[in-house]
Structure 1
Amino acid sequence: MEMSPRGALNRQRTIQDIESAFLTLYQRDGIDGVSISGICQACGIARSTFYLYFEDKFAVLQGVEDRLLSALWEICRNLPDVMDHTSGTETALSTVTHIRENLEWYRALLSNRGDPMFVYRWKKDIVESLRRKLEQRNVTKLDAEIQGVLFSSALIGLYTHVTMECPDIPDRTLCRYMDDLLARSLRQPITPAQPY
């Protein structure tokens, strides 16, 4: 049976209320301090209502993380030519816009109480996206992987700093830093260490 538009809207509102209550508790207490009863009390629903939408508190977190990473992947999966730094600006601006639109979630996930698996999965997506472009330019698989790891670690470090410490940095300035990180990560191929 198909859900009515009003039923779909109510469902979406309930999910948003649950996620919002989860976020408030998660920011304050970390995942260990989040409880189903706390979520239900904060958004004014019965436990049975919570379980209509989520299996447990981890499912709430997983659902939000999946949604954020999926949005980032949609923005970045078809990166322009990585050596043409001017064409990446729109992708960078779209990424910054997405993060700003979900700033409270990114603050929670990137904080010291955040989920390290979120960062790990995000890095893997960045590495995969960049690796494809580098391999198109005949960069070896290992070099592409390492350059991707360097760039993703630095980029997420930059996002973490901006999100936590200076969220008012202008978008174009942030994009300039992102472009500089990419340029530094791709500056020269990695050469194996020489034996002594």
Structure 2
Amino acid sequence: TKEMENITKTDRRIIRTKQSITKSFLELFSEKDLEQITINEIAERANVNRGTVYLHYSDKYDLLDKCIEDHINELISLCKKQEANPVSQGMVYNSKPVFDYIRDHFPFFSAMFSNQRASLFRDRLLHFISASLMDKMEGPDNGHVIDNELNAQFLASAFIGIVEWWIRHQMPHSTDFMADQVRKLFKKNQIYPNVMKRS
């Protein structure tokens, strides 16, 4: 119906507007500290009026929060798809989809890791990865040589460190290469026993 078509057009317009606002915000965020960014600057660069920005976000902190939330949720969704796949061997051990996602959304991740104020994103990412790993480390075949929580924190920090290096160096290697290197590093260090027994 015509009404449905109008709703779809409106939805697409809203999505495009929000994408434009987000893109402008991330460009500014990679150039300067969050405190120095104004809503006027974001609106001007996005080619919208400041009222439109406030229509979707309460302030720049809300905008940053929504950006982080959206990408973390996408990563969670990616990992759930892998968990549903019986052939899958876990998010870090089979990390190619994660590297692919980062490559496809490089401006966001680059801004998050290049800005010194982005500790909120890093903390959320660390929490998400370590929680994901904790689930896999539960079980009798772990051996409990290393505390599960410490092991998850160690592994998550190592993974984020590798991702950060890759991003800061403008993705010098392919996602296939990075995923394979991560798998080999963790296998070599024998810090992912549950996965290794299935490989």
TM-score normalised to structure 2 length: 0.82
Contact kept in structure 1, 2:88 and 2:94, CA below 8 Å: no
CA distance in 1, matches of 2:192, 2:24: 45
Of 150, 165, 172 in structure 1, the residue corresponding to residue 169 of structure 2 is: 165
- Percent sequence identity is 21
1:153 aligns with 2:169: no
Contact kept in structure 2, 1:79 and 1:133, CA below 8 Å: no
> What are the ranges of 5 or more consecutive residues in structure 2 without an aligned counterpart?
194-199
Contact kept in structure 2, 1:18 and 1:39, CA below 8 Å: yes
**More deviation in 58-67 or 175-184?**
175-184
Q: Which amino acid aligns with 1:131?
A: M
The residue that corresponds to 2:29 in the other structure is 26
Tell me the alpha carbon deviations over residues 95-137 of structure 1, each in whole angstroms, 9 at most, x when there is no partner. Answer: 1110001111101101243410111111111111111111134
Contact kept in structure 2, 1:79 and 1:130, CA below 8 Å: no
Contact kept in structure 1, 2:40 and 2:50, CA below 8 Å: yes
CA distance in 2, matches of 1:31, 1:185: 40
Of 75, 79, 93 in structure 1, the residue corresponding to residue 96 of structure 2 is: 93
> What are the ranges of 5 or more consecutive residues in structure 1 without an aligned counterpart?
189-196
Contact kept in structure 2, 1:75 and 1:91, CA below 8 Å: no
CA distance in 2, matches of 1:150, 1:156: 10
- TM-fit CA distance, 1:176: 1.8
Of 70, 75, 81 in structure 2, the residue corresponding to residue 72 of structure 1 is: 75
Judging changes above 3 Å, is the alpha-carbon distance between structure 1 residues 56 and 148 closer, same or farther for their aligned structure 2 residues? same
Matches within 5 A, 1:35-184: 35-77=38-80, 87-88=89-90, 91-139=94-142, 140=144, 143-183=147-187, 184=189
- TM-fit CA distance, 1:79: 6.0
- TM-fit CA distance, 1:23: 0.9
Contact kept in structure 2, 1:15 and 1:53, CA below 8 Å: yes
Relative contact order: is structure 1 or structure 2 higher (C-alpha 8 Å, sep ≥ 6)?
A: 2
Q: 3-state DSSP class of the match of 2:58?
A: coil
- TM-fit CA distance, 1:172: 2.0
Matches within 5 A, 1:7-22: 7-22=10-25
Judging changes above 3 Å, is the alpha-carbon distance between structure 1 residues 93 and 10 closer, same or farther for their aligned structure 2 residues? same
Q: Which amino acid aligns with 1:186?
A: I
**More deviation in 166-175 or 146-155?**
166-175
Q: Which amino acid aligns with 2:175?
A: D
- TM-fit CA distance, 1:8: 0.3
**More deviation in 159-168 or 7-16?**
159-168
Judging changes above 3 Å, is the alpha-carbon distance between structure 1 residues 105 and 185 closer, same or farther for their aligned structure 2 residues? farther
Contact kept in structure 1, 2:20 and 2:46, CA below 8 Å: yes
Q: Which amino acid aligns with 2:191?
A: L
- TM-fit CA distance, 1:30: 2.2
